[in-house]
Structure 1
Amino acid sequence: MAFARVNGVVLHHEVRGPADMPENGPALVFSNSLGTDFRIWDAVADRLAGNYRLVLYDKRGHGLSEAPPQPYALTDHVDDLAALLDHLGIARAAVVGLSVGGMIAQGLATRRPDLVEALVLCDTAHKIGTDALWNGRIEAVNAKGIASIADGILQRWFTPAYRSSGNADFAGYTAMLTRTPVDGYAGTCAALRDADLTESTRALRLPVLCIVGHQDGSTPPDLVRELAALIDGARFEIIAEAGHLPCIEQPEKTAALIEAFLAETGRWG
């Protein structure tokens, strides 16, 4: 485990990859979704660690990172990641972001284009949800805790086949969600409520791959397709037999799409 105080918050992070990978070489950075920590990427990272320097981290309010009092702004999350990469001496990165992590990735490419060479935007959008949705969720978790809304969230996260009472992994990810600090969860809900990246994302000019699970109930394929259409030259791929978290349900397919995309950009390695 590694911790760093950056941008006024302590972030838990981990750097993986070959021991002989140059420290100043390009990195593949993973940003996780609302209510999860960086362990959601483990199965994908295992398939990529032989060829890339990987950076995984828990955004503020999640996992082992500090949870400042709510609310947060998306720029808080973006500036946290920029500061972490500066702290690690990473000057070139492809950023893989899922859900709010995908919005953080978009924001980083806008605010710190010097850092970002390519984006993989998984199950995300330029604008997610409505004020009413996020305000209702903030009110619910502050009043009754995350467990009070967990069933509905898990139905959107995972396919029916995965949500089996006999699936120990499903029980584990349920615990990951419900044990997220309330300040971290509600604070990030506020960041999502207030963020609209439509115009800044439309202006991006870099290689982009957009991925979505076929059964994603949080950011459905049509919404992610709309995101891809905003960005000149962006690719769009649907992963079958996956919901909102294809990195968990279909890690091999997710890793293969990422690796093929990075190879095709001609700018990586």
Structure 2
Amino acid sequence: MKVLKANGIAMHWREDGNPDGMPVIFANSLGTDLRMWDELLPLLPKEYRYLRYDVRGHGLTQASDGPYSMELLTADAGALIDELQVGPVIFVGLSIGGMIGQGLAASRPDLVKALVLSNTAARMGTAEMWDARIAQIMQGGIEGSADAILDRWFGAEFRESPQISAWRAMLTRTPQAGYLGCCAALADADLSASTGTLRLPTLGIAGSEDGASPPDLVAATCKLIEGAACHVISGAGHLPCVEKPCDYAAILSPFLKEHANA
């Protein structure tokens, strides 16, 4: 277990792959932790250094008093990269992790050489939607919203598999302070203007059955970035790296190879 102090909190992170290779960092989605990448990493090229961390208030990373802002979460990622002295990295972010990636590429271009925006957007939902989510969870806890969240996360076939129980457990064991803090960050965040200024290699990945960030939303965000490509994984929901890791690796691996030494 690896923990370091960055931006005022204890951050949990993990390293896989070649310690001398090009650093690739992964940021998780709302309600998950760094284990969401477990099935994907063994399928990626062996020559790169894969770093992943738990977003503030998720997994084993320390929670702080909320509400959080996207600027705070972005600063967490930048502080982690600075502490590890690994920049510039290829940044892979899913959902809120993808918003963190967009924010980091805009505010600290020295730290990001290429960007993967998975199941994310420059603006996800509305303030009213997130305020309603916060109120619902404050009343009934994450467990009370778990069924609806899992329906948005996964396609119908995966929801009927035995694995769904593990993902429910990961979701419902997320510290409520961390979950609500990140919901507040999402409520306030609109990165359209800053994302539209980005000029770096960018890959978009979407799931055809994603109920949280539909493919059209991901594609619209990619269109803000000159030269960005967007791929849709058929039959996958909001976490295609979990449902369809082979398909995900087939899209991500060529992008890593193209830009690792560029």
Report the TM-score when normalising by structure 1: 0.95
**Residue 231 of structure 2 corresponds to residue 230 of structure 1:** no
CA distance in 2, matches of 1:208, 1:69: 33
Counterpart position of 2:198? 204
Contact 1:26 1:92 in 2 (8 A): no
Task: Give deviations 1:30-85, integer Å, cap 9, x for gaps.
Answer: 00000000100111112226121010100110001111122100111111111111
Report the TM-score when normalising by structure 2: 0.97
- Give 3-state SS (helix, strand or coil) of 1:79's partner: helix
**Residue 185 of structure 2 corresponds to residue 191 of structure 1:** yes
- Give 3-state SS (helix, strand or coil) of 1:189's partner: helix
CA distance in 1, matches of 2:214, 2:59: 26
CA distance in 2, matches of 1:255, 1:113: 25
CA distance in 2, matches of 1:175, 1:85: 29
Aligned CA-pair RMSD? 1.2
Unaligned runs of 5+ in 1: none
Q: Please identify runs of 4+ aligned residues in structure 1 that moved more than 6 A.
A: none
Of residues 128, 131, 135, the one that matches 2:124 is 128
Task: Give deviations 1:121-146, integer Å, cap 9, x for gaps.
Answer: 00000000011110011111112100
Letter aligned with residue 158 of structure 1: F
Counterpart position of 1:15? 15
Letter aligned with residue 219 of structure 2: R
- Identity of aligned pairs, percent? 47
Letter aligned with residue 146 of structure 2: A
- Give 3-state SS (helix, strand or coil) of 1:117's partner: strand
Letter aligned with residue 268 of structure 1: N
Letter aligned with residue 264 of structure 1: E
CA distance in 2, matches of 1:51, 1:253: 20
**Residue 177 of structure 2 corresponds to residue 179 of structure 1:** no
Counterpart position of 2:24? 28
CA distance in 2, matches of 1:255, 1:174: 24
Task: Give deviations 1:60-116, integer Å, cap 9, x for gaps.
Answer: 100011111221001111111111111111122000000000000000101110010
**Count of residues in correspondence between the two structures:** 262
Contact 2:2 2:12 in 1 (8 A): yes
Unaligned runs of 5+ in 2: none
Contact 2:45 2:253 in 1 (8 A): no
Letter aligned with residue 14 of structure 1: R
